[in-house]
Amino acid sequence: MHEPRRFPPHPELSARAHAQPDIYAKAAADPEAFWAEWAQQLYWEKPFTQVVDWQEPFARWFADGQLNASVNALDRHIAAGKGQRIAYYFEGERGDRRSVTYAELLQEVCRLANGMRKLGITAGDRVAIYLPMIIELPVAVLACARIGAIHSVIFGGFSADAIADRINDSGCVALITADGGYRRGNVLALKAICDEALRNTPSIKHCIVAQRTHEPVHMQAGRDIAWSALIADQPDTCTPAVMDAESLLFLLYTSGTTAKPKGIIHSTAGYLTGVSATHKLIFDYHEDDIYWCTADVGWITGHSYVIYGPLCNGATSVFYEGSPDFPERDRWWEIIARYKVSILYTAPTAIRTFMKWGDEHPARHDLASLRILGSVGEPINPEAWMWYREKIGNGRCAIVDTWWQTETGAIMISPLPGITHTPPGSATLPFPGLDIDVVDEHGTSVSEGVGYLVIRKPWPSMLRGIWGDPERYQATYWARFPHCYLAGDGARRDAEGHFWLLGRIDDVMNVSGHRIATTEVESALIEDQRVAEAAVTGKTDAVTGQAICAFVSLRGGANGSSELAAELRAHVAHSLGKFMAPKYIMFTPELPKTRSGKIMRRLLRDIVEGRTLGDTTTLADANVITELAQRAQQERASEAG
């Protein structure tokens, strides 16, 4: 991983960049003052006087202040005379287009918020949102924020069971969905999936259904209401709920190391402070920029950098519904050329997919408007970084590889585009005001070398906990090293102090930037009566970073077949979501175990990666693993041939 190249910032970019080199020293000298200054940029109903109150592991930021997140995203800009600015250029997969101004977005938010209030939804209630990438999604999110309800967005790829689990964990009172959505030319019947989920969700009183595909859907009397009917007679103004700085803004589920996802909770003021500061400084956002973060709002990147960050800064964003290869593989580049996108924020898995598709697709379009290119979700390999720089950025754009997590709320490690001399493949330095370190297994700081990534001081946008489970919060993040937040990633720090992220240190896979616990997939597999045991591991994949690989042993020592593998894949897709179905399934009479019965995952990882097997002396039966390794070897050989 030695990468000697460094790319200095473009002098023009440096000259007008919001972040100038003194920012690091200034923030380090007084981080609280640094953050307080950014918090003061928000619109406060009641200004705060306290900055941070830290009762490890619980932080409260700006706690005596009061504000409303939707006012910060919308009303503020209208009050400043910018109501006619475009908030979103919506681009439907099928080519339908619509631009939405800040004033229009506010009206839509207000009408839905009024409708939700009429249904009796109130501050502190949890509201699930399961929508495709249409404007109704930010509208629903901001309508919740307007009335102080806590939104819990569920990614549109999740299955009915996964929706029900998430709804039940936090006791959501309402679900906002759509008849369906478009993806790669197909119709996804979202409402039908919700109907299945809602059979097992006693807390849900209302289901609000937006229209996108206009296909007929089942509407249950007394529970389901069309979005259009709900807002039909609602005024387009709505008094915002005045919220305490620390009131919860949203819940977002992410995979931990167990089969039960964690409901990560974020509060209002600190989160908005973090996302607006990072959006402005890391993307060097200026008023004349056209910004496009390609993430789905179902993930944290969409929350922070499609909705709250850019809207708080009054940005104009592109908002695209569909997939990058519909109708052709140049769709994104066509969109960038049409809207003159200047800031693009996407994921390494997308970049590697485009590399595979070939340079001719971007080459056909005028990408000269681009000036900043962002990456997030997984380590970006130097080769993909260089391709991004050259083929998309024409050697001219700054690249910002941004490391962060659902839990951190906002970007934590990243170049600042006017300052940093960027080495391809490194997220470089902690954002100003943050105290991030690499430590060895004793918790001792490693100034140069490999270790665990930790955060030593609370930061405004940090998670406030796990919904309903403070013990798990403490145990997951704050127990391994005293007074340190454990990110769960390995990292290397080089002689210049640059951070190189090395992937997860736990049993969590990263597939196309999606976090998936091995245990989640395992427990779905063993739901099938024929499966005796399953062990899942990630296998390095040239496009998706990791691919899901499952080892399955069947009851009664039965033999597997490709039909059964297909059925198991379909079962996982149905029980969790399509994107969580294993790419590879390998049947084996036994899983490699220690004499005490513990599955040796380390060896399974060696097998899938084709590495020489590590220490096998503690195995109960060494034949199992040699046989598996041979078969994996044969499969690789036949794949290659």
Four-point Cα dihedral 354, 359, 365, 371, nearest 10: 70
Name residue 97's beta-bridge partners: 91
| 288 to 327: interface string for ligand WT7, x by CB under 6 A | -----------xxx--------------------------
Helix, strand, coil: what percent of the chain each, to 5? 35, 25, 40
Residue count, binding to ligand WT7 (CB under 6 A): 23
Four-point Cα dihedral 542, 157, 104, 320, nearest 10: 30
Would you say 68 or 402 has its CB closer to ligand WT7?
A: 402
Q: Which stretch binds ligand WT7 (CB under 6 A): 234-242, 335-343, 508-516, 624-632?
A: 508-516
Which residues inside 224-283 make contact with ligand WT7, applying CB under 6 A? 254
Query: Which candidate, 139, 161, 159, places its Cα nearest to that of 151?
Result: 139
Would you say 253 or 333 has its CB closer to ligand WT7?
A: 253
Q: Are 11 and 246 in contact (CB under 8 A)?
A: no
- Exactly one of 244, 284, 401, 522 binds ligand WT7 (CB under 6 A); that residue is 401
- Exactly one of 417, 432, 460, 513 binds ligand WT7 (CB under 6 A); that residue is 513
CB of 519 to ligand WT7, least distance (A): 16
Q: Are 534 and 522 in contact (CB under 8 A)?
A: yes
Would you say 370 or 511 has its CB closer to ligand WT7?
A: 511
H/E segment holding residue 493: strand 485-493
Q: Are 152 and 128 in contact (CB under 8 A)?
A: yes
Give the SS3 label for residue 113: helix
Would you say 62 or 481 has its CB closer to ligand WT7?
A: 481
Which region holds residue 556: left if phi is over 0, alpha if psi is between -120 and 50, else beta? left
CB of 405 to ligand WT7, least distance (A): 4
- Exactly one of 117, 492, 515, 569 binds ligand WT7 (CB under 6 A); that residue is 515
Rounded to an integer, what distance in angstroms lies between the CA atom of residue 579 and that of residue 155? 11
Q: Does 507 bind ligand WT7 (CB under 6 A)?
A: no
Name residue 392's beta-bridge partners: none
CB of 422 to ligand WT7, least distance (A): 13
| 366 to 395: interface string for ligand WT7, x by CB under 6 A | ----------xxxx----------------
Largest CA distance in the chain: 74
Q: Does 504 bind ligand WT7 (CB under 6 A)?
A: yes
Find the distance separating the first CA and the last CA of the chain, reported in whole Å. 29
Would you say 501 or 552 has its CB closer to ligand WT7?
A: 501
Which residues inside 403-442 make contact with ligand WT7, applying CB under 6 A? 403-406, 427
CB of 145 to ligand WT7, least distance (A): 20
Q: Are 91 and 81 in contact (CB under 8 A)?
A: no
Q: Does 83 bind ligand WT7 (CB under 6 A)?
A: no
Would you say 405 or 422 has its CB closer to ligand WT7?
A: 405
CB of 87 to ligand WT7, least distance (A): 22
Would you say 246 or 401 has its CB closer to ligand WT7?
A: 401
CB of 476 to ligand WT7, least distance (A): 12
CB of 482 to ligand WT7, least distance (A): 21
Q: Does 537 bind ligand WT7 (CB under 6 A)?
A: no
H/E segment holding residue 110: helix 102-118
Rounded to an integer, what distance in angstroms lies between the CA atom of residue 506 and that of residue 442? 17
Rounded to an integer, what distance in angstroms lies between the CA atom of residue 130 and that of residue 155? 6
Q: Does 606 bind ligand WT7 (CB under 6 A)?
A: no
Amino acid identity of residue 310, one-letter, is P
Rounded to an integer, what distance in angstroms lies between the CA atom of residue 384 and that of residue 606? 25
Sign of the alpha-carbon dihedral angle for 114, 116, 120, 124: negative
Would you say 170 or 406 has its CB closer to ligand WT7?
A: 406
Would you say 388 or 403 has its CB closer to ligand WT7?
A: 403
Q: Which residues bind ligand WT7 (CB under 6 A)?
A: 254, 299-301, 376-379, 401-406, 427, 487-489, 501, 504, 510, 513, 515
